[in-house]
């Protein structure tokens, strides 16, 4: 029987490759690790998961600005200030976000007669009642962020910048309900008389 040297060489290469990959697989498979919520005899409390050290802040989430992230002033109370200038673009962005997230319950006018309330869900209060006209801007921001009563929290869905934009739009809605022709600049009143045509 004749032995083919090429065949022996290829068999050796295959055998070495299989041995190396099996060892690699086993090393990666048997890593020293703890699986969350599994017990551990290493720690005194018997838990494998560990609490974060005190003062740990996830990268990008320092959120030191209490006004911007919580709607509160330096005294810890809700502030009536905005953390940035309110421009026409900010109010228009607030209108867009309001129409997406808020109108199902609050409707486009903020009266609390949205489509879901017409189908039996709890009615939110109108933005045009005295109590909500007098609350600080930070309070409205906080309710959008953390929810209130039947209203869910929107912190995960709406960025702080957009939550403030919504607050600016809610204030614009409130002003518009009490507005008169005298609130319109004289040079723009003609447009109203023409039905908005230029």
pLDDT tens sequence across 9-65: 787 777 777 776 665 556 666 677 777 788 888 888 888 888 888 888 888 778 889
Structure tokens at 162: 């957009």
pLDDT at 189 over 80: yes
Contact of 143 with 102, CB cutoff 8 Å = no
pTM equals 0.69
Query: Which residues, listed in sequence order, are joined to residue 78 by a DSSP beta bridge?
Result: 72
Q: 47 forms bridges with which residues in the sheet?
A: 39
Domain ranges of the chain: 85-177
Q: Is the pLDDT of residue 85 over 90?
A: yes
The 10 Å Cβ neighbour count of residue 40 is: 14
**Token pair in block for residue 170:** 């809610």
- The residue with greater pLDDT, 155 or 3, is 155
At the top level of CATH, the class of 85-177 is mainly alpha
pLDDT of 198 above 50: no
Q: What is the pLDDT of residue 191?
A: 81
Residue written as tokens 């005190």?
54
Per-residue pLDDT at 113 exceeds 60: yes
Distance CA 51, CA 28 (A): 26
> Is the separation of the CB atoms in 112 and 106 below 8 Å?
yes
Assigned token pair, 80:
């009536």
Q: Are 122 and 150 in contact (CB under 8 A)?
A: yes
| Mean model confidence pLDDT for the chain | 87
Distance CA 111, CA 131 (A): 14
């Amino acid at each position: 029987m004749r032995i083919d040297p090429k065949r022996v060489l290829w068999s050796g290469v295959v055998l070495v490759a299989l041995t190396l990959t099996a060892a690699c697989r086993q090393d990666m498979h048997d890593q020293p690790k703890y699986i969350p919520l599994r017990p551990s005899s290493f720690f005194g409390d018997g838990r494998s998961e560990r609490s974060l050290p005190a003062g740990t802040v996830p990268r990008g989430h320092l959120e030191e600005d209490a006004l911007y992230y919580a709607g509160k002033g330096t005294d810890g109370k809700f502030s009536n200030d905005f953390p940035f200038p309110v421009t026409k673009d900010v109010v228009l962005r607030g209108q867009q976000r309001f129409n997406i997230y808020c109108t199902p319950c609050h409707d486009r006018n903020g009266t609390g007669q949205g489509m879901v309330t017409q189908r039996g869900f709890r009615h939110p209060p109108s933005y045009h009642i005295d109590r909500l006209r007098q609350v600080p801007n930070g309070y409205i921001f906080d309710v959008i962020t953390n929810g209130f009563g039947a209203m869910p929290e929107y912190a995960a869905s709406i960025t702080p910048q957009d939550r403030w934009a919504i607050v600016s739009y809610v204030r614009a809605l409130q002003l518009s309900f009490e507005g008169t022709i005298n609130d319109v600049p004289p040079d723009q009143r003609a447009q109203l008389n023409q039905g908005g045509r230029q």
